[in-house]
């Protein structure tokens, strides 16, 4: 069974995919990709976030980037990707990043 996350944080299926609008984008949660993601300095700097999304979405990143999402939606997308690759709930990831903002 695959997992499908949406920008409204609803988990719909079991393989990591994220739906933006009407389109679903698969998320690469393979071991080597996740290790590369974890090596990034995953702060809220957009260059690092871009790199993480490129790793996670592969060729789908160009299409997502072209959407020119509002930054809050982009941040939420990043959090959804991290949830998809780690198997955590989106709320746990969001809380972790909120905790870093408060420090």
Q: Summarize pLDDT for 11-68 with one digit per residue, the tens.
A: 555 568 899 988 999 898 888 888 888 887 665 566 788 888 999 999 999 999 999 9
Is residue 43 situated within a structural domain?
yes
Q: Is the pLDDT of residue 4 over 70?
A: no
Residue 19, domain member (yes or no): no
Residue 66 lies in a domain: yes
Checking if the pLDDT of 77 tops 80, the result is yes
For residue 15, tell me if it sits in a domain: no
Domain that residue 36 falls in? 28-102
Report the predicted TM-score, pTM, of the whole model to 2 decimal places: 0.71
Confidence class for position 98, pLDDT limits 50, 70, 90: confident
Is residue 54 a contact partner of residue 61, using CB atoms and an 8 Å limit?
yes
**Residue 53 covered by a domain:** yes
Give 28's contacts (C-beta < 8 A, 6+ positions apart).
Answer: 16, 55, 56, 57, 58, 85
64 with 77: CB under 8 angstroms? yes
Q: How many structural domains is the chain composed of?
A: 1
Asked whether residue 1 is assigned to any structural domain, the reply reads no
pLDDT of 37: 83
Separation CA 57–CA 5 (nearest Å): 13
pLDDT of residue 92: 87
């Amino acid at each position: 069974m695959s997992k499908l996350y949406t920008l409204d944080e609803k988990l719909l299926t079991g393989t990591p995919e994220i739906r933006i609008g009407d389109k679903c984008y698969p998320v690469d949660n393979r071991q080597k990709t996740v290790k590369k993601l974890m090596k990034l300095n995953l702060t809220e700097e957009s260059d690092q976030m871009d790199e993480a999304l490129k790793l996670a979405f592969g060729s789908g990143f160009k299409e997502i980037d072209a959407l020119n999402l509002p930054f809050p939606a982009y941040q939420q997308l990043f959090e959804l990707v991290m949830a998809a690759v780690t198997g955590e709930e989106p709320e746990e990831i969001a809380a972790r990043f909120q905790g870093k903002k408060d420090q």
